[in-house]
């Protein structure tokens, strides 16, 4: 994840007859130093809300991570989903990670966040905290917009890398197209596009 500024993601969600919910995601990152990197991600949630997530090229290039946890959810006027997860990373990066995925909705407002702390078994200077948060409003069924914020923090180096930005999203039936723009330290800007399909 570190300092990768651009990605284009393709996300496919599905639900099996056994009520296993899942997400398959294909992410493309781009930055000036590393170019494009492909990062697939898969999530599965059982009827009892047990949660498994697997990632590749996410915490670090040529690294695989697997997380397990349990989702705590409620749907009403105020809906929420909180999923604490714990896992390990192997490959170029070897270590462990603890994370939490949060989604909140109240009427047409929403907040979502993914936060994680990842530590290296090889070099504590590679330990990092990463967070991606969004706060938005959906005035129409087909459109939403808001603010987005990325932060990576290396505690041993006391180094922060932050990217504030905006998000605009378009929805049609089961499809969603969120578009992101971020301000970077290099003032070059960064852009993100995802294609999301859910059922």
Q: Which of 134, 139, 2, 141 is nearest to 59 (CA)?
A: 2
Q: Is the pLDDT of residue 14 over 60?
A: no
Name the pTM for this structure: 0.81
Strand partners, 66: 54, 88
Which of 34-48, 81-95, 129-143, 175-189 shows the lowest mean pLDDT across its residues?
175-189
Chain mean pLDDT for the chain:
84
pLDDT at 21: 84
**Domain annotation for the chain: domains and CATH numbers:** 6-197 (2.40.160)
pLDDT at 81: 96
CA distance 158 to 82: 29
Write the Ramachandran bin of 3: left for phi over 0, alpha for psi from -120 to 50, otherwise beta: left
Q: Residue 159: exposed, middle, or buried by beta-carbon count in 10 A (0-12, 13-18, 19+)?
A: exposed
Q: Which of 14, 20, 24 is nearest to 47 (CA)?
A: 20
pLDDT at 41: 82
Dihedral Cα 178, 193, 37, 124, nearest 10 deg = -50
pLDDT at 5: 40
Encode pLDDT of 135-144 as tens digits.
Answer: 999 999 999 9
């Amino acid at each position: 994840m570190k300092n990768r500024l651009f990605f284009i993601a393709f996300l496919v969600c599905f639900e099996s007859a056994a009520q296993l919910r899942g997400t398959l995601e294909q992410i493309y990152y781009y930055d000036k130093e590393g170019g494009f990197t492909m990062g697939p991600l898969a999530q599965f949630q059982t009827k009892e809300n047990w949660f498994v997530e697997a990632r590749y090229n996410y915490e670090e290039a040529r690294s695989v991570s697997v997380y397990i946890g349990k989702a705590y959810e409620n749907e009403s006027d105020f809906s929420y989903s909180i999923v604490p997860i714990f896992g390990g990373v192997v490959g170029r990066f070897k270590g462990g990670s603890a994370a939490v995925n949060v989604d909140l909705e109240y009427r047409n407002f929403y907040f979502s966040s993914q936060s994680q702390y990842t530590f290296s078994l090889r070099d504590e200077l590679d330990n990092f905290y990463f967070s991606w948060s969004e706060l938005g409003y959906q005035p129409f069924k087909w459109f939403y917009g808001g603010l987005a914020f990325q932060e990576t923090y290396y505690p041993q180096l006391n180094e922060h890398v932050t990217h504030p930005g905006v998000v605009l999203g378009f929805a049609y039936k089961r499809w969603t197209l969120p578009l992101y723009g971020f301000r970077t330290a290099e003032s070059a800007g960064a852009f993100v596009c995802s294609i999301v399909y859910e059922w």
